[in-house]
Structure 1
Amino acid sequence: MHQFKTSCAKEKLKEIRAFVAETLGNMGVSENECHKIILAVDEVCANLIIHSNQCDASEKLELFVEDHGDHCVIFEIIDHGKGFVYDSYKEPDLEEIIRSRKKGGLGIMLVRNIMDKVEFKIEKNRNICRMMKKF
């Protein structure tokens, strides 16, 4: 298992992307799959840093990457900020977003399209996002 711990500052997203790229590269994941997975992990981490922790650098975010063999990788992202209630998430209406020219709001939909499984849960004052990708 690979682990990366950082502060909840937007500037740390570049380091998170580099960690994921290196870890997936060492696992032999194709460059195309690697880019998609990095995008999904970056989106979740950005949401946690910005929305859950309000870019408070004193708060921490942990990322675990586990090679489950059989071409399967599990990602677990943990923070202690405001929880996200995934069960109440409804995918946005793309036409409404285009019509209103609204920025944002598509991240979780993007993550769900890239990853094979996405779960959010709140456990012992921790927010845990668990994602699985088969390639």
Structure 2
Amino acid sequence: MSHNRTSIVVQTPGEMSYLYRIREFITGIAAEVGIDEQDILNIELAVDEACANVIEHGYEPNAPDKSLTIQMEIDDQKLVLKIIDQGKSFDPRLKPPPDIQKLITMKRDGGLGISLIKQTMDEIDYRRTPEGCNVLILTKYLQLDHNSEDRTL
């Protein structure tokens, strides 16, 4: 098996109205290299939840220069996404699973995003850089669709 690697970076304003661009970027590249459709849906969900959480909870509403940087690396075995922001520090690995019954009783929207990320991705890592950036690293091990035409990464 060859180990071709592709690295792509995209930066967008940290605004909800840009989430669709991030989704299109991720799903477009993933489909192009032959990633399984279910994996694409899982990756899209995880990235959407992670970015929405940064925008909603990491940044102050009127903060200047809110941005998200997405670094995407794909090879024959895995896809690694790094979501980088300058918002409040938050390590999602430390968040306990939500109490679903409590969320239902409270009739509360939200509260499931981090749990969904943990369920749809194979690995989650987090670090805070010395420069004050948050880096959320999401890894998905791949089953490439080898029945489709041969694609080069």
Number of the residue aligned with 2:141: 134
CA deviation string 1:34-91 (max 9, x = no partner): 1121011011011111211135462221001101322x11110101111113353111
Q: Which runs of 5+ in 2 are unaligned?
A: 1-6, 143-153
Q: Which runs of 5+ in 1 are unaligned?
A: none
Q: Which has the higher contact order (CA 8 A, sep 6+)?
A: 2
Q: Does 2:126 match 1:120?
A: yes
* TM value normalised by structure 1: 0.92
Number of the residue aligned with 1:15: 21
Give the 4+ runs in structure 1 shifted more than 4 A: none
- Paired with 1:87 and 1:47, the residues of 2 have a C-alpha distance of 14
Counting helix residues as a fraction of each chain, which structure ranks higher? 1
SS in 2 for 1:108: helix
- Paired with 2:33 and 2:15, the residues of 1 have a C-alpha distance of 28
SS in 2 for 1:129: strand
Number of the residue aligned with 1:64: 71
Identity rate of aligned residues, in percent?
29
Q: Does 2:104 match 1:98?
A: yes
| Larger Rg over CA atoms | 2
What RMSD in Å do the two structures reach over aligned CA positions?
A: 1.4
- 1:134–1:57 Cα change, 3 Å: farther
